Amino acid sequence: MKVDYLVAEIGSTTTLVTAFNVKHDSFGKVFVDTPFQGKSCTTVLDGDVTIGLENAVRDIENQINEPVTWEKMLATSSAAGGLKITVHGLMEQMTVKAAKEAALGAGGIIKMVTSGKMRKVDLKRIREINPNMIMIAGGTDYGERETAIYNAELISSARFGKPIVYCGNIENREEIKEIFQDQELYIIDNVYPRVDELNVEPARKIIQEAFEKNIIKASGMNKIKSMVNGSIMPTPGAVMESAKILYDIIGDLVVLDVGGATTDVHSVTDGSKIVLDMLVSPEPKAKRTVEGDLGIFVNSKNVIDLLDVRDLGELNKDYITEHIKPIPEKVEDIKASLILTKKAVEVAIGRHVGTIKRKFGGESGFIAYGKDLSQVKYIIGTGGALTRLPEGEKNLLSIRVLKDEVTMLPKKGAKALIDKDYIMASAGVLSRINREAAEALLKQSLNVNETMEIKSF
């Protein structure tokens, strides 16, 4: 069987490959035939990711009893440690925060953050982390210049051999080019051009391009281009792309992705005008948080430690520990994974959402910090735990606030959607070359019908 596209999602524990054709109905509307999916254990640690890719393709071939060939193979990856980034800016709540938001939205994992002038000990820590990329920010446009230049000179002298992304004060560009003249450098628009203004989208695009160029250098990933002849994106960045596409179709949403190693939360919403007026600092419309300690296999111990009597019911932590599996199939293993999934969702959304506090003394009223999800109309679940285990919809709906109270959480009217074909990451990378097909994939997987395709509710 020959297919138009084969899209691989290379996770920390599992590699999933989806095969499909793009077709047109009698009215010329694009649709995607029923996708075939194969899975295998990820083989990055074996020194060659293509072993797992080939095994996943073979799984499809076993299902359909014939060989599979393809026109284009695309991939997303969170294996080999994912996209590890260190961020270095001027002020923590301004340029540093803006650079972090850009890196996270692109699919990065923030391993280190510094504000102000760096020290030699910071360089030592960067070397220990061995990031895939280093981001330098600092200063609004035509504002403070010295800190970013100082940090750039320090980082350049260390010769880390990593891509450098500069997204600070535009007045520094010529100096930055001189400092990194013989190194891989990306200069982009300032992520914090003016006070209380975030500009993260240009940085996200460049970060993903640098990732694609450099991922083939990662241990275990160096042979990936022998199979993949299309784009490669960080898996979380691809999911964010799908979230933004869905926002254009159905409006304000939040996506939860519970995986073996991490739990990611992606939200695309401006929030309410009331909360916007109370915010202490700006938030991006499209925001991602990654909880690197919350996973139901690789980091299951961290989630188990968070469980209390209410979470466990008649079970205990020893039972959960004994039944942790990368792909749970037995009833006992599924039961253990469900408890961890529910807890991961609860904790991750609590870390993603902002808070509203009453002001004391002086002028009365409220102030708000962080991301407002109160206008979210759809809570979407993707990733293996929410799409392949039972109770996914129940876990998603559990984050809603059912009573009328001051909160930034989704309200009782929000509905749950499950990415039943586990396709969001695949659609995100596909959207780079065929957005129409990506939209069709998402609509079919999430069962988005014509009556839902309205952004005004």
DSSP conformation letters of 288-320: EEEETT--SSTTHHHHHHH--HHHHTT--HHHH
Strands, sheet with 415-418, edge to edge from the N-terminal-most edge strand? 286-291, 263-268, 253-258, 378-382, 415-418
Regarding whether 71 and 109 lie in a shared domain, the answer is no
More confident residue, 169 or 217: 169
Q: How far apart are CA 453 and CA 353, in angstroms?
A: 26
Total of domains in the chain: 3
pLDDT over 60 at 457, yes or no: no
Q: Tell me whether residue 319 is in a domain.
A: no
**DSSP annotation of 407:** -
The enclosing domain of 239 has a CATH number of 3.30.420.40
Q: Where do we find the tokens 């001051």?
A: 406
Query: What pLDDT, on the 0 to 100 scale, is given for residue 216?
Result: 78
- What's the average model confidence in pLDDT over 282-304? 92
pLDDT band at 35 (very low <50, low <70, confident <90, very high): confident
Q: Where do we find the tokens 């009215």?
A: 27
pLDDT band at 456 (very low <50, low <70, confident <90, very high): very low
Cβ(289)–Cβ(104) below 8 Å: yes
Regarding whether 201 and 243 lie in a shared domain, the answer is no
pLDDT digits (tens, 9 = 90+) for 147-156: 999 999 999 9
Q: Tell me whether residue 326 is in a domain.
A: no
Query: What pLDDT, on the 0 to 100 scale, is given for residue 364?
Result: 67
Q: Quick one: how far is CA 117 from the chain centroid? A: 29
Query: What pLDDT, on the 0 to 100 scale, is given for residue 107?
Result: 86
The kind and range of the H/E element at 257 are strand 253-258
Q: Tell me whether residue 316 is in a domain.
A: no
More confident residue, 361 or 393: 393
Regarding whether 211 and 137 lie in a shared domain, the answer is yes
pTM metric for this prediction: 0.87
pLDDT band at 358 (very low <50, low <70, confident <90, very high): confident
pLDDT digits (tens, 9 = 90+) for 249-288: 999 999 999 988 889 999 999 999 989 889 988 899 999 9
Domain enclosing residue 279, as ranges: 234-299+339-452
